[in-house]
């Protein structure tokens, strides 16, 4: 297995939004989905997941309701709100632009400068 | 929308604290279980999987704490919010300079008499000072106000206002909508607005030319009235409005909420010179040097001190004394700074002080709460701190870090508290003020938070942050590195001082909260009693009917008024159910109290220094002979007046029992004689007559009633004969055999049959009780302190909840051992609850003792309710203990669920 990358500061919220945009998830499910999509290359502190979820809910970007988990247990499911969808879009755009710029800078060769 | 979701989430977090906590618990437990199950599926044994899942998750409590913070749950915000609210109100009342030009140099000029209180200057004296003073730049006068009536406007009654009034327990008198409406109008000199630097919102404000005798009558509207009645239409300027049937030109509008040097916004402003036109006094009363006309304001000129100005004005006063030795005897002038609103009534001061005290208590509760949270968090972070210390971190650095954290928490709380404060203020001041009838004028306190309020909030936030962050921080730093690393926080010895501090915080919270709640219960029960108190007269079957117009103008001649009065009384008497109609100069318990000095005729008056009147004073009213039967006041001995005696205003008097006891304790008062008033008394208002009779025979004694003040029986009261054909009083009292309130509509139509334009205010006497200032003080005080008290209770419960929760968390290990050794769950519950019950009971005892001290101060406004009222004390104490125990019980259930095996292995 590759060495796990530590999450960049401030990106957890965006990843959570993306994860729940694919369908309602409970907290543990969010963790699993991010790990699954990233093919376990990203290390997420489990303890920091919930504060982030609560913050997003407090900001009205996601909402929660109690439902039943795959193995018939009560679990709290999160889903994206309209505001969350919008936020995810702008964040993703920003991130992509930033990544482009940074990739451009890092990829610059001496003759181009 | 996002803002709203934040508020909702915050509110939910605050209101459903317990539910949110248990949901958070459930959610995290689910996470760990699900994770462990996945591990089990991968072949790890169950026990081991649970352990690994917990380790993987990291500090559960820390995660929870961060979740709570993410929700913005902040008890301190509430405390700071309420504190800021009351500070703002207090600031608006007592600290903020008047919203006028140069408030620092604004002076008030008052007339003084040797040894007497300061009083109003007469109009001619004012003119003399205005024209001769060289130390004050300009002297302007505010000459009181009156209600004027107009038929030009449609009446707008607000449903909301009625509802709020109902909720507060007021019963507003009904204004008969015969097309006439009452408006409050204040009189100011022509230079008043110029002195105070007011700007018009439309048109112009007064000029000195407007305030000349014979000048065309003009009036200025308040911005508030302009907005509510004319929808801020600028075309109103230049139009005509009839006030008391005299045509006035509207020349301008003040800005909204403009109060000048007053404390409430009037509806109309008029020049002093038009006063006689409106029927309030006469031109001559403005020339009378013995009648006080109003308060005079002026600006100190540059480089002049207050004492200089007072000295100069007293030189002018000496000139006046020389010129008019009769009226100006002993009189001088005082100059007083008018920078602030210092006219909070002396009666309201205890209430203001009590409210400020209550709110300080609330802040204390909030602080104690935060301190115990920080303390608990510091306890939970002992391990982290221990590690840092072991790795060589300086204690100063750590202290710094902890302090910065608590200060940031407090500042954040302040940021939430500030909008909370302005919202509460809006609710309290604006909504309650809107319940007050418009003809009382509007209350316009400056309650919008400004930089000062902001500064205050930041300051108390910082103070609470540092003060209450310091103790837990120091506690945490006293950590012994070795034991902290082992994290056996619950091992006895060390725990002791920490839990004692925590207990102390609970004691303080419970005590403070109890003081608030007991006193609010006392005030509310007292005001409830006021509504049921037996005033001694029949208030349930009597309607008070008052003609709201100035005599004798308002377009009615003197003769027409007497004719109207006669017609009204006849018309009303013919209504079925009405048993009698009477007239009096004032109705009991409806304000307008009048007092006159009395003594035994032909007896030596008590010696007073410098010819001062040392005789006792008595309340009085002029009445018709059938007054006593109409109000149901029994005549104990003697008789009422005959019609003949009333008509000629013969020198006879009916006195109350208390008066009889006072003057003739062991004798029959009938046939004895009283000297009432003195020949040279000054009327309290221009044009009002003052009783004077050198020898009046006592012809009757009637039962004592509460007619002056609701909270006590009149100490002395005289009933004087009223001549219905010579004097007009504007107050009729109608007795009915049925209920008074059901008579209002019939009475209204009877009045309209006589004259459709008469502005009449109707109210059963019972309703007048709710306008009594003592009732208002205890009712509003009770409502305010119960709001603050309930907030305090809520905060204290959060504190108890938090404390018990953390102590259960910390003692998980110990509880596990106990349960492994055979302790039953109820025993464990008892253990935990006993621990929190001890400080709670101690707090209750202290709270009761403090309340007993405070309630003694309130006894004057409790309407005879025992200040040690058992129901208030015992009931509230029991309620508080029950609620607090419940708050402790919720988290302690967790202790019962502790699985000994898990607990022993726990981290």
Percent of chain B whose predicted confidence (pLDDT) is above 70 = 67
pLDDT at position B669 over 80: yes
H helix runs in B291-348, sequence order: 306-323
Q: What is the pLDDT of residue B442?
A: 43
Where is pLDDT greater, at B621 or B790? Answer: B621
**What CATH number does domain A5-112 carry, 3.40.30.10, 1.10.10.10, 3.30.420.40, 2.30.40.10?**
1.10.10.10
Q: What is the pLDDT of residue B44?
A: 82
Q: Which of A27, A47, A73 sits opposite B59 (nearest CB)?
A: A47
Going by pLDDT thresholds of 50, 70 and 90, the confidence category of residue B278 is: confident
CB B385 within 8 A of CB B398: yes
pLDDT at position B251 over 90: yes
Q: What is the pLDDT of residue B7?
A: 53
Cβ separation A73–B27 shorter than 8 A: no
* Region of poorest pLDDT, from B92-101, B128-137, B723-732: B92-101
Backbone angles phi, psi at B732, to 5 degrees: -115, 145
Going by pLDDT thresholds of 50, 70 and 90, the confidence category of residue B492 is: very low
Question: Domain residues of chain A, as ranges?
Answer: 5-112
* Region of poorest pLDDT, from A92-101, B680-689, B876-885: B680-689
Cβ separation B30–A69 shorter than 8 A: yes
Going by pLDDT thresholds of 50, 70 and 90, the confidence category of residue B218 is: very high
CB B650 within 8 A of CB B642: no
Rounded to an integer, the average pLDDT of B673-690 is: 74
> CB neighbours of B318 closer than 8 A, spacing ≥ 6?
none
pLDDT at position B89 over 90: no
Cβ separation B6–A73 shorter than 8 A: no
Rounded to an integer, the average pLDDT of B327-340 is: 73
Q: What is the pLDDT of residue B628?
A: 93
Q: What is the pLDDT of residue B94?
A: 56
Hey, of A28, A79, A84, A87, which one would you mutate to test binding to chain B, going by the most B CBs within 10 A of its CB?
A28
- Nearest residue on chain A to B34, alpha-carbon basis: A28
Hey, of B10, B11, B27, B66, which one would you mutate to test binding to chain A, going by the most A CBs within 10 A of its CB?
B27
Cβ separation A71–B37 shorter than 8 A: yes
Q: Which of A31, A54, A60 sits opposite B67 (nearest CB)?
A: A54
- Cβ of residue B416 closer than 8 Å to a chain A Cβ: no
CB B681 within 8 A of CB B692: yes
Question: Domain residues of chain B, as ranges?
Answer: 75-96+346-487, 103-337, 511-531+769-907, 542-768
Instruction: Report the sign of the C-alpha dihedral through residues B89, B93, B97, B100, in that order.
Output: positive
User: Of the spans B513-522, B574-583, B801-810, which averages the highest pLDDT?
Assistant: B574-583
Q: Distance of CA B489 to CAs B55, B479, B808, B814, B897, Å?
A: 19, 10, 12, 10, 20
Hey, of B22, B23, B70, B384, which one would you mutate to test binding to chain A, going by the most A CBs within 10 A of its CB?
B70
The CA distance from A95 to the nearest CA of chain B, in Å, is: 23
Q: What is the pLDDT of residue B167?
A: 56
Q: Take residue B658 and report the two structure tokens written for it.
A: 């208390």
Cβ-based contacts under 8 A for chains A and B: 78
Q: Rounded distance, CA B310 to CA B298, Å? A: 12
Q: What is the pLDDT of residue B2?
A: 47
Cβ separation A83–B1 shorter than 8 A: yes
Q: What is the pLDDT of residue B439?
A: 40
Number of helices and strands in chain B (H, E): 29, 26
Give the tens place of pLDDT for each residue, B446-455.
555 566 667 7
CA-atom Rg of chain A in angstroms: 17
ipTM here: 0.81
> Tokens 């699985």 appear where?
B899
Q: Distance of CA B125 to CAs B288, B328, B354, B557, B906, Å?
A: 9, 10, 41, 32, 88
Cβ separation B30–A45 shorter than 8 A: no
> CB neighbours of B410 closer than 8 A, spacing ≥ 6?
B76, B80, B370, B461, B462, B464, B465, B468, B469
Rounded to an integer, the average pLDDT of B47-72 is: 68
Name every residue in A having a CB less than 8 A away from some CB of B: 26-28, 31, 45-48, 50-52, 54-55, 57-60, 69, 71, 73-76, 83
Rounded to an integer, the average pLDDT of B331-358 is: 63
Q: Which of B6, B58, B63 sits opposite A58 (nearest CB)?
A: B6
Cα angle value A53/A59/A65 (rounded, 5°): 55
Q: What is the pLDDT of residue B581?
A: 92
Name the burial class of residue B699, with classes exposed (0-12), middle (13-18) and buried (19+) by CB atoms within 10 angstroms of its CB.
buried
Going by pLDDT thresholds of 50, 70 and 90, the confidence category of residue B270 is: very high
Q: Which residues of chain A have pLDDT under 70?
A: 1-4, 6, 9, 112-113
* Region of poorest pLDDT, from B348-357, B449-458, B738-747: B348-357
Which of B 614-643 lie inside 8 A of A, CB atoms? none
- Which residues of A are less than 8 Å from B10 in CB distance? 58
Q: What is the pLDDT of residue B712?
A: 79
The CA distance from B36 to the nearest CA of chain A, in Å, is: 11
Give the tens place of pLDDT for each residue, B590-638.
777 788 888 888 776 665 555 556 788 899 999 999 999 999 999 999 9
Give the tens place of pLDDT for each residue, B116-149.
556 778 888 888 889 988 888 888 998 877 777 7
Q: Which of B23, B24, B57 sits opposite A47 (nearest CB)?
A: B57
Going by pLDDT thresholds of 50, 70 and 90, the confidence category of residue B754 is: confident
Where is pLDDT greater, at B162 or B843? Answer: B843
Q: Which of B24, B30, B62 sits opposite A75 (nearest CB)?
A: B30
Which of B 44-83 lie inside 8 A of A, CB atoms? 56-60, 62-64, 66-67, 69-72
Give the tens place of pLDDT for each residue, B701-726.
999 998 887 777 888 999 999 987 77
Q: Which of A52, A73, A83 sits opposite B30 (nearest CB)?
A: A73
> CB neighbours of A105 closer than 8 A, spacing ≥ 6?
none
User: Of the spans A90-104, B407-421, B774-788, which averages the highest pLDDT?
Assistant: A90-104
The CA distance from B85 to the nearest CA of chain A, in Å, is: 26
Rounded to an integer, the average pLDDT of B5-22 is: 56
Cβ separation A57–B6 shorter than 8 A: no
Hey, of B29, B39, B40, B67, which one would you mutate to test binding to chain A, going by the most A CBs within 10 A of its CB?
B67
Q: What is the pLDDT of residue B390?
A: 75
Rounded to an integer, the average pLDDT of B68-92 is: 60
DSSP string covering B526-547: HHHHHHH---SS--SSEEEEEE
Where is pLDDT greater, at B432 or B546? Answer: B546
pTM equals: 0.57
Name the burial class of residue B321, with classes exposed (0-12), middle (13-18) and buried (19+) by CB atoms within 10 angstroms of its CB.
middle
Where is pLDDT greater, at B456 or B522? Answer: B522
Hey, of B34, B42, B49, which one would you mutate to test binding to chain A, going by the most A CBs within 10 A of its CB?
B34
pLDDT at position B814 over 50: yes
The CA distance from B406 to the nearest CA of chain A, in Å, is: 19
Q: What is the pLDDT of residue B185?
A: 86
Rounded to an integer, the average pLDDT of B856-868 is: 75
Q: What is the pLDDT of residue B659?
A: 92
Cβ separation A50–B62 shorter than 8 A: no
pLDDT, mean over chain B: 76
Label the pairing between strands B218-221 and B246-254.
parallel
CB B571 within 8 A of CB B753: yes
Going by pLDDT thresholds of 50, 70 and 90, the confidence category of residue B428 is: low
In the three-class reduction of DSSP (H, G, I as helix; E, B as strand; rest coil), residue B231 is classed as coil
Give the tens place of pLDDT for each residue, B163-213.
555 555 555 555 554 456 667 788 999 999 998 888 899 999 999 899 888
Q: Which of A27, A73, A83 sits opposite B2 (nearest CB)?
A: A83
Question: If residue B127 lies in a helix (H) or strand (E), which one and from where to where?
Answer: helix B123-132
Percent of chain B whose predicted confidence (pLDDT) is above 90 = 12
Rounded to an integer, the average pLDDT of B810-821 is: 78
Q: What is the pLDDT of residue B633?
A: 92
Q: Take residue B547 and report the two structure tokens written for it.
A: 């003609």
């Amino acid at each position: 297995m590759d060495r796990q990358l530590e999450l960049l500061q401030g990106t957890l919220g965006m990843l959570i939004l993306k994860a729940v945009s694919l369908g309602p998830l409970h907290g543990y499910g969010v963790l699993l989905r991010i790990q699954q999509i990233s093919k376990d290359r990203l290390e997420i502190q489990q303890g920091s997941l919930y504060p982030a979820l609560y913050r997003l809910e407090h900001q009205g970007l996601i909402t929660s309701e109690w439902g039943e988990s795959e193995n018939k247990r009560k679990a709290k499911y999160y889903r994206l709100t309209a505001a969350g969808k919008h936020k995810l879009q702008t964040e993703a755009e920003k991130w992509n632009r930033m990544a482009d710029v940074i990739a451009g800078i890092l990829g610059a060769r001496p003759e181009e400068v | 929308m996002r803002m709203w979701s934040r508020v909702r989430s915050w509110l939910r977090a605050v209101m459903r604290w317990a539910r949110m906590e248990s949901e958070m618990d459930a959610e995290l437990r689910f996470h760990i279980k699900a994770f462990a199950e996945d591990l089990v599926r991968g072949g790890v044994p169950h026990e081991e999987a649970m352990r690994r899942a917990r380790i993987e998750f990291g500090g559960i409590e820390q995660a929870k704490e961060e979740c709570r913070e993410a929700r913005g749950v902040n008890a301190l915000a509430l405390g700071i919010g309420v504190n800021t609210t009351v500070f703002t109100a207090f600031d608006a009342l007592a600290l903020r300079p008047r919203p006028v030009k140069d408030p620092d140099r604004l002076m008030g000029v008052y007339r003084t008499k040797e040894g007497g209180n300061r009083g109003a200057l007469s109009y001619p004296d004012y003119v003399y000072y205005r024209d001769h003073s060289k130390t004050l730049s300009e002297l302007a006068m505010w000459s009181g106000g009156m209600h004027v009536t107009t038929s030009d406007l449609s009446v707008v009654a607000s449903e909301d206002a009625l509802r709020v009034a109902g909720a507060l327990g007021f019963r507003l008198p009904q204004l008969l909508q015969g097309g006439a409406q009452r408006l409050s109008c204040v009189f100011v000199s022509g230079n008043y607005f110029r002195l105070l630097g007011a700007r018009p919102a439309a048109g112009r404000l007064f000029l000195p030319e407007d305030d000349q005798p014979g000048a065309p009558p003009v009036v200025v509207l308040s911005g508030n009235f302009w907005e509510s009645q004319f929808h801020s239409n600028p075309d109103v300027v230049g139009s005509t409005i009839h006030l008391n049937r005299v045509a006035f030109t509207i020349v301008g509008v003040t800005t909204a909420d403009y109060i000048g040097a007053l404390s409430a916004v009037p509806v109309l402003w008029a020049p002093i010179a038009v006063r006689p036109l409106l029927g309030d006094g006469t031109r001559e009363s403005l020339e009378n040097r013995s009648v006080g006309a109003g308060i005079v304001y002026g600006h100190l000129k540059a480089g002049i001190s207050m004492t200089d100005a007072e000295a100069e004005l007293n030189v002018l006063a000496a000139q006046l004394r020389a010129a008019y030795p009769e009226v100006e005897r002993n009189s001088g002038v005082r100059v007083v700074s008018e920078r602030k609103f210092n006219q909070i009534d002396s009666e309201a001061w205890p209430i203001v002080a009590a409210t400020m005290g209550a709110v300080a208590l609330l802040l204390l509760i909030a602080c104690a709460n935060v301190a115990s949270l920080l303390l608990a968090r510091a306890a939970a972070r002992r391990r982290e701190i221990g590690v840092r210390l072991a790795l060589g971190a300086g204690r100063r650095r750590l202290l710094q870090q902890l302090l910065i954290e608590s200060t940031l928490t407090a500042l954040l709380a302040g940021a939430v508290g500030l909008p909370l404060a302005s919202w509460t203020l809006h609710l309290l001041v604006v909504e309650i003020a809107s319940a007050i009838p418009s003809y009382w004028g509007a209350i316009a306190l400056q309650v919008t938070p400004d930089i000062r309020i902001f500064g205050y909030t930041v300051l108390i936030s910082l103070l609470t942050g540092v003060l209450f962050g310091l103790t837990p921080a120091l506690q945490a730093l006293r950590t012994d590195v070795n034991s902290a690393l082992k994290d056996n926080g619950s091992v006895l010895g060390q725990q002791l001082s920490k839990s004692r501090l925590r207990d102390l915080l609970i004691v303080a919270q419970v005590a403070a909260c109890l003081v608030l709640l007991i006193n609010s219960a006392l005030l509310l029960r007292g005001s409830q009693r006021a509504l049921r108190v037996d005033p001694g007269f029949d208030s349930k079957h009597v309607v008070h009917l008052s003609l709201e117009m100035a005599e004798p103008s308002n377009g009615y001649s003197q003769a027409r008024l007497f004719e109207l009065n006669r017609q009204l009384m006849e018309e009303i008497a013919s209504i079925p159910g009405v048993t009698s109609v009477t007239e009096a100069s004032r109705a009991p318990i409806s304000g307008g109290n009048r007092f006159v000095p009395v003594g035994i005729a032909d007896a030596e008056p008590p010696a007073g220094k410098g010819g001062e009147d040392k005789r006792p004073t008595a309340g009085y009213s002029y009445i018709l002979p059938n007054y006593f039967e109409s109000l149901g006041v029994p005549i104990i001995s003697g008789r009422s007046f005959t019609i003949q005696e009333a008509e000629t205003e013969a020198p006879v008097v009916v006195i109350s029992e208390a008066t009889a006891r006072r003057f003739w304790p062991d004798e029959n008062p009938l046939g004895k004689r009283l000297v009432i008033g003195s020949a040279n008394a000054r009327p309290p208002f221009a044009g009002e007559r003052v009783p004077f009779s050198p020898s009046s025979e006592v012809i009757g004694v009637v039962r004592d009633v509460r007619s002056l003040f609701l909270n006590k029986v009149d100490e002395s009261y005289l009933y004087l004969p009223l001549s219905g054909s010579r004097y007009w009083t504007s107050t009729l009292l109608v007795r009915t055999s049925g209920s008074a309130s059901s008579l209002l509509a019939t009475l209204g139509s009877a009045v309209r049959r006589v004259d459709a334009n008469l502005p009449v205010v109707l109210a059963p006497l019972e309703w007048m009780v709710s306008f009594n200032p003592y009732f208002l003080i205890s009712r509003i005080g009770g409502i305010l302190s119960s709001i603050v008290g309930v907030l305090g209770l809520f905060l204290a419960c959060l504190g108890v909840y938090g404390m018990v929760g953390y102590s259960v968390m910390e003692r998980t290990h110990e509880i596990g051992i106990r349960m492994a050794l055979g302790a039953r769950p109820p025993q464990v519950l008892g253990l935990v609850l006993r621990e929190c019950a001890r400080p709670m009971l101690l707090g209750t005892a202290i709270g009761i003792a403090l309340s007993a001290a405070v309630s003694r101060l309130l006894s004057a406004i409790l309407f005879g309710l025992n200040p040690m009222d058992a129901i208030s004390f015992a009931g509230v104490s029991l309620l508080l203990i029950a609620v607090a125990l419940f708050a402790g019980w919720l988290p302690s259930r967790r202790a019962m669920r502790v699985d000994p095996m898990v607990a022993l292995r726990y981290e």
